Amino acid sequence: MTTLFRDTVYEVASAIPKGSVATYGQVAALAGRPGAARAVGMFMSKNKDSNKVPCHRVVASNGALTGYGMGNGLSTKKTMLQKEGVQFKGEKVDLSESQWQPKKGR
DNA sequence: ATTTTGACTTAAG
DNA sequence: GCTTAAGCCAAAA
């Protein structure tokens, strides 16, 4: 199986349910490469599958919104997430309430 | 094939 | 709490 790490990341990102968000490190770990958070972010920047991958549901480990086009794009991303039901803590996502739980429970 | 870069993360000051 | 430094992975030049 010649599964590209990149494709796996895209699948994981697209698997994030609405109203929840995942951190880059979390996505990287689910993709099978814990520690590749930087690479994950790069794939989003490339955004080859932006039409399939909701990269806006991927945030930094501290819940801060990063990237998404340029500076001002973050405002759009924040608003979009709020509309999806994600809880916000100032300019950061309330991971305590809206971080995605790939496994049930926790 | 080597070097640089990038939407990261954690630790330390 | 914020800033700086080092570590980490994968892709593009």
Comparing A3 with A49, the larger pLDDT belongs to: A3
CA–C1' distance A44–C5 (Å)?
Answer: 26
Catalytic site residue A55? yes
CA–C1' distance A48–C7 (Å)?
Answer: 27
What pLDDT digit, counting tens, does each position of A28-68 carry? 999 999 999 999 999 999 877 778 899 999 999 999 999 88
Q: What rounded mean pLDDT belongs to chain A?
A: 91
Half-sphere exposure of A55 (CA within 13 A, CB side): 21
Half-sphere exposure of A80 (CA within 13 A, CB side): 14
Comparing A50 with A9, the larger pLDDT belongs to: A9
Classify residue A62 by burial, with Cβ atoms within 10 Å: 0-12, 13-18, 19+: exposed
How many beta carbons lie within 10 A of that of residue A52, not counting itself? Answer: 11
pTM value? 0.92
Handedness of CA A4, A6, A11, A16 (dihedral sign): positive
